[in-house]
Amino acid sequence: MPISVPSQIAVDCKSVHSNLVQVKKSKSTAGYQKCQKLNLCYFNAQSVCNKTHTIVDYISDHHIDLCYITESWIQDGDIVTEEELKPNGFDLKNFPRNGCTGGGIALLYKESIKPKLVSAFERSSFECTEWIIPVQGVSDVVRLVVVYRPPYSHVHPIPVSTFITEFSECLLSWQMVL
């Protein structure tokens, strides 16, 4: 579903990081409620095991509230990695890929945010988590969906056509609950 941006908001694509977009509000705040600002980030970690301190530093330095990590490679019961990955005041939800090494989706978030998990599932061609995030000062919520599709390989020989079919089915189900 496309995101519409009110005319009072301009998008500045000249960001220091190529995958981040800075959204600037106009000086006029008429008609807007004061609400909590959420800083989100996303990493495709290809294993957080040797990157926990770098990720924690990034989250702290950039005042991140929610951080999605794909290819976390955190296995069930890996409490040491999970604890190392959490900055003070953060919690972690981990969804390892079933039945194989690698993959997995993790959500790091400030404990004060309290995201609600709607669904976490795998299809043959992708992994997905869906969350409802309450935003202080606003009666609506933010709905976050992260889909990770592993690249085609001899280990994951799933064609794009399978992904398109499976993802289309998910989009239709999400549309029904909007």
- Structural domains for the chain: 36-176 (3.60.10.10)
Q: What residue type is assigned to position 33 of the chain?
A: Q
At 177, the pLDDT band (50, 70, 90 cuts) reads low
Least confident among 65-69, 88-92, 134-138, 159-163: 134-138
Q: Which of 7-21, 75-89, 124-138 has the highest mean pLDDT?
A: 75-89
- Per-residue HEC secondary structure of 56-70 comes to HHHHHHCCCCEEEEE
| 43-89 pLDDT per residue, tens | 999 999 999 999 999 999 999 999 999 999 998 889 999 999 999 99
Whole-angstrom Cα distance, residue 94 to residue 40?
Answer: 17
Its pTM stands at 0.74
Give the pLDDT confidence score for residue 141 in this predicted structure: 83
Predicted confidence (pLDDT) per residue in 136-146, tens digit:
776 778 889 99
Q: What is the chain's Cα-based Rg?
A: 18
Position 132 confidence tier, pLDDT thresholds 50, 70, 90: very high
